[in-house]
Structure 1
Amino acid sequence: MVSFSHTATGTAETVWAAQRKPVQALRIDELRRLVVVAAHPDDETLGAGGLIARAGRAGVPVTVVVLTNGEASHPGSTTHDPARLAALRRVEVTAAVAALAPAGQVRLLDLPDGTLTERLAEASRAISDEIGPGGPGTWLVSPWSLDSHPDHAAAAAAARDAARDRSVTLFEFPIWAWHWSTPEDSVWPDGMLRNLDLAPDDRRRKAQAMALHRSQIQPLSGLPGDEPIIQASFSAHFERDYETYIEIDTETDTALTPSLAGDFFEEFYAGTRDPWGFETRWYEERKRILTLAALPRQRFRAALELGCSIGVLTSDLADTCDTVHAVDIAEQPLLVARARLAERPGVTFERSTLPAEWPEGSFDLIVLSEVGYYFSAEELREVLGRCRDSLTADGVIVACHWRHPVPEYPLTGDRVHAELGRLAGFERTVEHRERDFLLEVFEATPARSVAQREGLVP
């Protein structure tokens, strides 16, 4: 992350104007609902004020989700403590959004300024609640992940997480990058930039809204520490007749996050037999009961369990399947699993790094329990493709995953199940959704229900 100071001399607006490059236009005609995320009050106006004004004029519903009150903007002030600044900035952002789009809504989340990285889950949930199911024409707009401000990066991460598995179009807007970057900087992504030309009325509304953020553009007092945060040279970047956005592909934005390696799991299991509490927690026992109950048949010929860990679920599967082949990336849990099921001749274990080391054979049941989010998006799709190719014609995939975010994991549980839902030739026949986990069964299309198989319905 680039280190910069708002008081330092940045790249002049004349430099950006002189080297403006052709950029694809933002297709505003596709917009039906707009949700804007601001890390701090004034982000919405600086980065997306013209878009908000344009949407408001068109009668498009607009909501601005403000994650913090921006109370850390003047840490050296002797006249305005954080509480007073927070109160001022809440009023300012509410007035600014009303100037941009009179019917627009403002949601103030009140998270602590400067600590968004530690509050990603709360931010993501709030944004998700505002998006709802999404749908065609729903746009989610947030600060740019590469803006080199920690709270801006966190706001982008929360927005990306909220956008996954929903039908939304995601954009990010730069703010501080205009200050510290240059037109030649490789940080600007080729092919992803979009410009929105602003009508005179949109520019007027944006200027009016910016003027309402008085605590940021005017000195709080004449004393040291109360100087304006937004200097005139910086403000010039947002007086343009256009705004710039970066379009984010929600399908591939996590593709560069690598799968967790074997070393991660060897270290995780070091010195402990059961770090997840598979043997002791009612949560885990109940989840296994539900997983087995979701299976559409009483018996299976051959099961493949991916990520078997210490073999607790493997033991239950052995009661339902003629054979179970269980794999894991780490040797330590496999030692425990082999000892647990040493007397079960139909059970075999193998240490494998998936998807490269794929088990041989065909299976009529494949189980992915708490394993899918350890893969990168790209490798997960390869894993699911291999699952499909390894299934018999009557094969079943059962998947169960934790839904709460885990920073170390490349994907979320909901993202894993969204990818499963896209698996060609398969349909979801069981869906059990709780706050903590998601349990689903997938079978080849057209699938028959349990009642149909037993002749209870046609």
Structure 2
Amino acid sequence: MVSFSHTDAGTPENLWAAAHREAVAAGEAASVGSVAPGSGPLSPAPPVQALCVDDLLRLVVIAAHPDDETLGAGGLIAWAGRAGVPVTVVVLTNGEASHPGSGTHDPARLAALRRVEVTAAIAALAPSALVRLLDLPDGTLAGHRDEASRAISAEIGSDGPGTWLVAPWTLDGHPDHAAAAEAACHAARGRGVSLFAYPIWAWHWSTPGDPVWSDGVIRTLELAPEDRRRKTRAMALHVSQVQPLSGLTGDEPIIQAAFAAHFERGYETFIEIEIEMEIEMEIEMEMEVEVEVEVEPSLSGAFFEEFYAGKRDPWGFETRWYEERKRSLTLAALPRKQFRAALELGCSIGVLTAGLADRCDTVAAVDVAEQPLREARARLAAHPGVTFARRTLPAEWPEGSFDLIVFSEVGYYFSAVELREVLRRCRGSMAPGGVIVACHWRHPVPEYPLNGDQVHAELGRLAGFERTVEHRERDFLLEVFEAAPTRSVAQREGLTP
């Protein structure tokens, strides 16, 4: 692995600019059968070819750390977002090791900052993009390659041709980038996807004539002005990396001006990777297991109709102290006294709905089964602001904009794939400054596709939201997520700055 520091002078951008001009000329000469010149900065210049995006139907970008996606592929993400191509960004670590000498920001604080920064940056690049934050440890990603590979494989799913997997370059000189590249390559094998790599630190420590650049076909994407603007805005949102954390030693910016110049170009560079078709048996088995988990179906409406048959309150919402206490905690966790419009997913017989009716001007409550809805309508008949509807989610998603979405004891009924779609719909239905409150049973239930901890782990990866309440018990997990950036209850009431 190459040894370098972000404080090193690095290779000036003007050398790369000259090399790029020669490489483009070499590519043009090669296309007409001429001999490319060999006297320029690349000595000789490997031809550079244009990156053709005509067959791009879905884009999955892997980042070892928050900001890798913007530096290396921000323009491509912006293009895909404008073109209506579905985009998912998988961020493997929180980048908490970026400032090991800081006396003002410990790793936990840096991780929290960088999670918010990366979701905001990706939203600036492509507002409809999905973000997956895996929370793997920064600096030791090599020890978690299998976990990263399984997550990437699950993200690819059953998609094949037309899906592009874009990841850090294995020769970039950073061990986490190499680990991310290997995980992506393993995940891509045998899947029919196209694999591309993006350099980041190689622009810093390498030179245009370095033999490292002869490994693979180099392709460039010319960026439209709008995509360059989006990339610039997104980069500025990685505040902890482009600005000093403080004026103290150890808090200097990681991305300094000379290094940032490599990513202000009018183009982005990718290396096309030839995926080996041979698959090690253990990796193949791991991938097959992961894909099987992803396609496990959600529980159907018929399951719940049968569950409720002949039972008015099968979960004991009205009679169990456990349920009454949990309901009180859920309502107490809401960060505002009153909400304009709430959406309750999976309302059952409407016991929690009644508590919400006192805190919300309107409540739109939905459930997949008709029998509990009859009980709920009777319970809330005197509340004109409350409506009930039978819906199969996520396909029959309610219309409207909501400043509160209640996601209580329902997430584990969905498959992993449909849960992500439900959360994407939640984000799309959220009014500015909106809140999601979620509460789920933590013990395993054989019939359920997921468990409560898995549901909340997925909620924690929802782009553009911060976890502001976390109440964890042996039996259930209660959390509140608010649109970022947000203020605490004490801040809203003027009790603290």
Q: TM-score, normalised by structure 2?
A: 0.52
Which amino acid in the other structure matches residue 10 of structure 2? G
Q: Does residue 253 of structure 2 align to residue 219 of structure 1?
A: no
For residues 272 and 216 of structure 2, what CA distance do their matches in structure 1 show?
9
Q: Which residue of 1 aligns with 2:257?
A: 232
Tell me whether 1:17 sits opposite 2:42 in the alignment: no
Aligned to 1:45: 70
User: What does 1:402-421 correspond to in 2, within 5 Å?
Assistant: 403=282, 405=283
**Alignment match, 1:2:** 2
- Per-residue CA distance 1:405-441 (angstroms, 9 max, x = gap): 4xxxxxx5689xxxxxxxxxxxxxxxxx76799xxxx
Q: Deviations over 1:12-63 (max 9, x none)?
A: 0011111211210001111000000000000000000000000000000000
In 1, Cα distance between equivalents of 2:77 and 2:289:
35
Query: CA shift at 1:135, angstroms?
Result: 1.8
- Other-structure match for 1:251: 276
The reply to whether residue 142 of structure 1 matches residue 150 of structure 2 is no
Structure 2 CA distance for partners of 1:24 and 1:240, relative to 1, 3 Å: same
Task: Please state whether the residue corresponding to 1:88 is helix, strand or coil.
Answer: helix
**TM-fit CA distance, 1:191:** 5.5
Question: Where does residue 96 of structure 1 map in the other structure?
Answer: 121
The 3 A distance-change label for structure 1 pair 80 and 24 is: same
- The structure having more radius of gyration, on CA atoms, is 1
Give the total of aligned pairs: 267
CA shift at 1:189, angstroms? 2.5
Closer, same or farther in 2 for the Cα pair 1:436/1:101, shift >3 Å? closer
Find the partner of 2:179 among 154, 169, 172: 154
Distance in 2 (alpha carbons) for counterparts of 1:213 and 1:19: 29
| Residues in 1 aligned to 2:169 and 2:186: alpha-carbon distance in whole angstroms | 14
Given the alignment of the two structures, is residue 180 of structure 1 paired with residue 205 of structure 2, yes or no? yes
CA RMSD across the alignment: 1.9
Partner of 1:265: none
SS of corresponding position for 1:183: coil
Match of 1:261 in 2: none
- Find out whether 1:163 has 2:188 as its counterpart: yes
Q: 1:219 to 1:137 in 2, by over 3 A?
A: same
Q: Which amino acid aligns with 2:73?
A: A
The residue type equivalent to 1:112 in the other structure is: P
Report the 3-state secondary structure (helix = DSSP H, G, I; strand = E; otherwise coil) of the residue aligned with 2:211: coil
Aligned amino acid, residue 11 of structure 2: T
Asked if structure 1 preserves the Cα contact closer than 8 Å seen for 2:63 and 2:69, the reply is: yes
- The answer (yes or no) to whether the contact 1:41–1:89 under 8 Å persists in 2 is yes
Secondary structure of 2:62's aligned partner: strand
**Structure 1 residue 125 corresponds to structure 2 residue 160:** no
Q: Secondary structure at the match of 1:64?
A: strand
- Asked whether the 8 Å contact 1:97–1:104 carries over to 2, the reply is yes
> Offset at 1:136?
1.7
- Contact 2:165 2:196 survives alignment (8 Å): yes
Would the alpha carbon gap of residues 434 and 159 (structure 1) be closer, same or farther in structure 2, given more than 3 Å must change?
closer
CA distance in 2, matches of 1:77, 1:2: 24
1:332-355 residue CA offsets vs partner (Å, 9 max, x unmatched): xxxxxxxxxxxxxxxxxxxxxxxx
Q: SS of 1:227's equivalent?
A: coil
- SS for the counterpart of 1:83 is helix
Contact 1:141–1:172 (CA<8 Å) still a contact in 2? yes
**What is the Cα deviation at residue 190 of structure 1?**
5.6
SS in 1 for 2:161: strand
1:74-120 deviation per Cα after TM superposition (whole angstroms, max 9, x unaligned): 00001000000000000000000000000001000000101110001
Q: Kindly tell me: are residues 112 and 245 of structure 1, through their superposed partners in 2, closer, same or farther at Cα, counting changes over 3 Å?
A: same
Gaps of 5+ in 2: 25-47, 293-497
Q: What code does the residue aligned with 1:213 have?
A: H
For the residue of structure 1 that corresponds to 2:173, the secondary structure is coil
The question of whether the paired residues in 2 share the 8 Å contact of 1:133 and 1:167 is answered with no
2:225 aligns with: 200
Change in CA separation of 1:166 and 1:83 when aligned onto 2, cut-off 3 Å: same
Counterpart amino acid of 1:118?
G
TM-score scaled to structure 1, two decimals?
Answer: 0.56
CA contact (8 A) 1:165 1:414 kept: no
Tell me the SS of whatever aligns to 1:135. coil
Which residue of the partner structure matches residue 402 of structure 2? none
Give the alignment of 1:438-449 within 5 angstroms: none
- Runs of 5+ consecutive residues of structure 1 not aligned to the other structure: 255-371, 374-400, 406-411, 416-432, 438-458
Please say if 1:109 is aligned against 2:134: yes
Q: Secondary structure at the match of 1:188?
A: helix
Say if 1:72 and 1:436 are closer, same or farther in 2 by CA, change over 3 A: same
CA–CA distance in structure 2, aligned partners of residues 221 and 79 of structure 1: 8
Does 2:103 correspond to 1:78?
A: yes
SS at match of 1:136: coil
SS at match of 1:140: strand
Distance 1:176 1:169, change over 3 A: same
Deviations 1:253-311 (A, max 9, x none): x7xxxxxxxxxxxxxxxxxxxxxxxxxxxxxxxxxxxxxxxxxxxxxxxxxxxxxxxxx
CA offsets 1:106-161 (integer angstroms, 9 cap, x no match): 00000010111000111001101110012221000000000010000000000000
CA separation of 1:144 and 1:436: change in aligned 2, threshold 3 A: closer
Write the mapping of 1:260-275 to structure 2, written as runs, cut at 5 A. Answer: none
- Are the equivalent residues in 2 in contact too, given 1:66–1:107 (CA < 8 A)? yes
